[in-house]
Structure 1
Amino acid sequence: MTSSTDQHGLDEEFEHKPVPLSHRHRLSSVAAVWFGFPMIITNAVFGGVIAYNLGFSRALLAILMGNAILLTYVGTLSFIAGSTGRNFALQAERTFGKKGYAITSGFLASVVVGWYAFQTGLTGTTVHASFGWNETATIIVATLLYTAVTFVGIRALSIVGMIAAPLYVALGLVALYLIGSAHALSTVFLYDGLGMNSLMSFGGAVTLVVATFADSGTMTADFTRWSKDGKSAVYATLTAFPFANLIAQVFGIAIVCAGAAAAPATQGGNFMPVLTSHGGVLSGIALIFVFVNLGSVCTHCLYNGAVGWGRIAGKKMRTMTVLLGLLGGLLALAGVWSLFLNWLNLLGVLVPPIGAVIIVDQIFVRHYSYDEDVPNFRGSAFAAWALGALAALLVHGMAPWFSEAVAGMLVGAVAYYALSLGAKRAVRQRNGLL
């Protein structure tokens, strides 16, 4: 084994140490990983659901605000990753402690594996509903395919992104063209949604946009540690937020606002039925699109989970990819994946404060120098996470008009900064410096 390859003869994934500068990738390669990730049918669904509730103008504003928050949040975490070369688990270790990181990293790595299982099961139901294929057989094929692609490593995710993004845009435009023959697209800008009858608040819509990438966005370091520097990592993130994410969601907005969505309240701007209903070559392309589209989500989530659990278990990313890939596939086959959505969304409320604490710690408090002694547990980081999560849950239940994701970030960040200042002041007092 060399420094550039692992035991499989593939590129080293650096699960347990920062990526050396000699092994960093071009901006285009790292950007492809992030740019292709948001180009998924799920974003068209969410964009359409928001438009159905808020109308065109307010939906577009909510999506723009959500993407601005994601750019600030994910971009800052990416800057840290590109500057240090550390993956998320190594980032968390500096902030939450040499042993404490296993709690935050394990929590997030488990959440993304849950999303992998959910999307793998969704592949089976989507293909069965659209093409009549056997659902069980499709899930097995999807599990093997997604696991194999993830096994190759970060370069495979880059290739998937290069395919997924243009395919999404092309088929989205085809869907709009087909819709335009039966619906007046000029009415899109006048769509008012449910208005006062909507149960979704503006803040809830912003939260929905942020929540779609709260998990993998917090773990962005797994992707952007491969950037040559912090600035390149931010540029790579910029291709996703706002650009790719906004494009993906605007397709859903347009389909709902044109009156072409079959079930806008639940399926939003899902344009798969538009493609499959025309049969012929388009149906064949749509089948490929399902596997590429959902596969993009699954491979990214599985990669996050494998890197995270690999660090915790002291294993290679590829070993964990096989184990977690098969575990997620079994959960999908068992049918329990359909029960995941509500609790995965709820757990997503608890995630943003983690990233906020890391940002404050490693940008303002600066607990990431190589020579600094890191404690086993940093209590102030866990206390701030708990306060941020509590604030998010309170907003979720008592003030749905506000964004729970933003509340969690702000409270977590302020709490950690205050606790850190208090700890420094206490140290100075003990040393007689005050």
Structure 2
Amino acid sequence: MDIKNQDYPLSEVPLSGRKTVLSLSWILMGFTLFTATMFAGGQVGVAFPFWPDLIVIIFVGNVLLGGYAALLANLAFHTGLNTQLLARFSFGHFGGAIVDLILGLTQIGWYAWGIAILAVYSLQMIGVTPDSALYSSYLHCIIVFFGIAFCITAYIGYRGLEVLSIVSVPLILFFIGVSLYNSYEASQNGALSVPEPITGVLSFGLAVTIIFGTFSSGATQSTNWTRFAPSPRAAIWSSLLAFLICNGLMTVVGAVGALVYGESDVVAVLLLQKLFWFGCLMLLMSLWTTQDNTIYNFSLAACHLFRTNNRRLMTLVGAMIGIVLALFRIDQHLLGFLLLLGTFIPPIGGVIIGDYFFVRKKRYPQMDQARFSKVNISGIAAYFIACFIAYFSPGIAPVNGIVAAIIGYSLFGRIFKRRVMGENNVPRS
């Protein structure tokens, strides 16, 4: 099997397989221009005054997210490894299966959420209401159709994701600009009554957790693309552009829409602004550029879990699972899903960061020369302790979890260093 065409699911990306910074930036921007981020912005937007409270929350949440993604990007460039292979070092040969399951299932959750949302909006746009006798049948048909369609570019691989993003990202940014301009005009002309925020509903820490949590899983798995970076600067800056700037833009759009129109989704806002075809294209492009990335992430997690290089087969399997979840309407349970992501996903990245920077001192062996313990107790223990701290401690849950995971793994890793490092590992300088 040609592992180059499968995007190196179980090995390092060689220097000959690296991409340009522009190519990488297109993919990461397409990934983060996601509809769910606008919903998160809307949830936070109605709970705080726009200036300065809301802007500070959005800024803090996205700076933390961008910094986290950039740190992992630097690591991914130097190792050429995806998140699952990195986790094998810090969680062990079989312990890494926990990471595969957690990250794979969350990505499938987002995939299911996206195709369900697209189906609901599509029927709304053509005037089919939930009380219609054929509503469920139409809904199921659309879910199945787009569940299959959205995995096509992921099936192709990196090149498929890149081509779609090159076409879609400029269109999405244009639609967002038009919507924001119209929202500003409407609020200035007094055409709409802007409601007062419902203060006291969310704390500062919980609001930042929602902003961070929306893409914490994506940021943790961003190494799946930044391992293709041609330089450390390319990896870091492309990550900041996507996770700080683009993700921040989407949260602002969601917040503005919620404040001005009572709608957090720019697609719904475009429809209210009588821009029907803009709304249709925005919905399709913003979901497709993220959906193919999420199912791509799942395929890598599944390849690692089952130790197979057949990433394309895993892509198809993931799409089928996502379709089934969408048919059960996972989209109706979004907010709780976001909060759980914001709490339990970031500690995985914290453990990986602690292992690479503080225990192994940036020296990983080559994958074909490394030997792993079956279960790295240090990684498992640090992860669960960090999750406990993130869930129960006050403040910003994702940050608490990441810091706790880094400190916990660094301490455990030094105590049990011989077991963590494995036997007969040949260090990479």
TM-score tier after normalising by the smaller chain length? 0.7 to 0.9
- TM-aligned CA deviation for residue 179 of structure 1: 3.1
Q: State whether residues 142 and 291 of structure 1, in contact with CA within 8 Å, keep that contact through their aligned partners in structure 2.
A: no
| SS, match of residue 187 in structure 2 | coil
- TM-aligned CA deviation for residue 369 of structure 1: 2.6
Amino acid at match of 1:272: V
Aligned partners of 2:242, 2:313: CA distance in 1, in Å? Answer: 29
Partner of 1:148: 152
Taking only aligned residues, the RMSD between alpha carbons, in angstroms, comes to: 2.6
| SS, match of residue 16 in structure 1 | coil
- TM-aligned CA deviation for residue 38 of structure 1: 1.8
Residues 186, 44 of structure 1: CA spacing in aligned structure 2 closer, same or farther, 3 A cutoff?
farther
Q: How many residues align?
A: 404
2:347 to 353, 365, 372: 353
Question: Structure 1 length as normaliser, TM-score?
Answer: 0.86
1:124 to 113, 119, 142: 119
- TM-aligned CA deviation for residue 32 of structure 1: 1.0
- Greater displacement, 176-185 / 298-307: 176-185
Aligned partners of 1:66, 1:191: CA distance in 2, in Å? Answer: 24
Identity of aligned residues (%): 25
Partner of 2:166: 162
Amino acid at match of 1:376: K
- TM-aligned CA deviation for residue 191 of structure 1: 8.7
Partner of 2:307: 314
Aligned partners of 1:426, 1:179: CA distance in 2, in Å? Answer: 58
Query: How do 1:34-53 and structure 2 match up within 5 A?
Result: 34-53=28-47
Amino acid at match of 2:187: H
Aligned partners of 1:357, 1:61: CA distance in 2, in Å? Answer: 28
Partner of 1:14: 8
Residues 221, 176 of structure 1: CA spacing in aligned structure 2 closer, same or farther, 3 A cutoff?
closer
| SS, match of residue 228 in structure 2 | coil
Partner of 2:402: 409
| SS, match of residue 183 in structure 1 | helix
1:218 to 217, 220, 238: 220
**Structure 1 residues without counterparts, runs of 5 or longer:** 5-10, 428-434
**Structure 2 residues without counterparts, runs of 5 or longer:** 129-137, 421-429
Partner of 1:65: 60
Deviations 1:211-264 (A, max 9, x none): 01111211111111111233321121011131111222222233344xx222xx
| SS, match of residue 416 in structure 2 | helix
Q: State whether residues 386 and 400 of structure 2, in contact with CA within 8 Å, keep that contact through their aligned partners in structure 1.
A: yes
Partner of 1:387: 385
| SS, match of residue 62 in structure 2 | helix
Q: State whether residues 46 and 249 of structure 1, in contact with CA within 8 Å, keep that contact through their aligned partners in structure 2.
A: yes
Amino acid at match of 1:139: I
Deviations 1:150-207 (A, max 9, x none): 111112222232233322221122223333443218999x997333xx2111111111
| SS, match of residue 354 in structure 1 | helix
Q: State whether residues 81 and 225 of structure 1, in contact with CA within 8 Å, keep that contact through their aligned partners in structure 2.
A: yes
Aligned partners of 1:15, 1:107: CA distance in 2, in Å? Answer: 18
1:287 to 254, 257, 280: 280
Amino acid at match of 1:325: A
Q: State whether residues 19 and 225 of structure 1, in contact with CA within 8 Å, keep that contact through their aligned partners in structure 2.
A: yes
Partner of 1:362: 356
Amino acid at match of 1:387: I
Partner of 2:261: 261
Question: Is 2:176 the counterpart of 1:172?
Answer: yes
Partner of 1:29: 23
Deviations 1:339-390 (A, max 9, x none): 4663464254111111001001101212623355431211011111011000
Amino acid at match of 1:119: G
Partner of 1:137: 141
Partner of 2:329: 335
Deviations 1:85-115 (A, max 9, x none): 1111111111111221111122211111111
